[in-house]
Amino acid sequence: MECKNIVKEVIGELSLNKRKKLSFYSKQLKKILTKTEYRHIKFLSFYNGILSIGIDSSAWLYHLHQKKEKILEDLGLKDVKFCLKG
């Protein structure tokens, strides 16, 4: 197998694993957050135990930041990063 194909395969597997983890955390957050809260978030990335979530307004950013400890505890993550993403 060529190196080029091996690299593509490895990158594809890594990408798939990240998508699976984001999907898992998305489902778990649906259980933690209300429907209204959930509508204001967008999953950005998951890397090294840190979930990055975009929030659509500063008011919701503040509100969801207040739930950070509960989210960390329930999901067992190292950290959750919130950022404003309209």
User: pLDDT band at 22, cuts 50/70/90?
Assistant: confident
Q: What is the pTM of this model?
A: 0.75
54-70 pLDDT tens trace: 999 999 999 999 999 99
The CB density around residue 62, as the number of other CB atoms within 10 Å, is: 11
Token pair 């739930």 is found at 67
- CATH number of the CATH domain containing 66: 3.30.300
Alpha helices in the chain (DSSP H): 3-32, 35-38, 58-65, 68-75
φ/ψ of residue 11, rounded to 5: -65, -40
Joined together, the tokens standing for residue 33 give: 């957050």
Per-residue pLDDT tens digits for 23-36: 888 899 999 999 99
pLDDT at 3 over 80: no
- Print the domain residue range for 29: 3-84
Q: How many domains does the chain have?
A: 1
- Residue 42: phi and psi, rounded to 5, are -145, 130
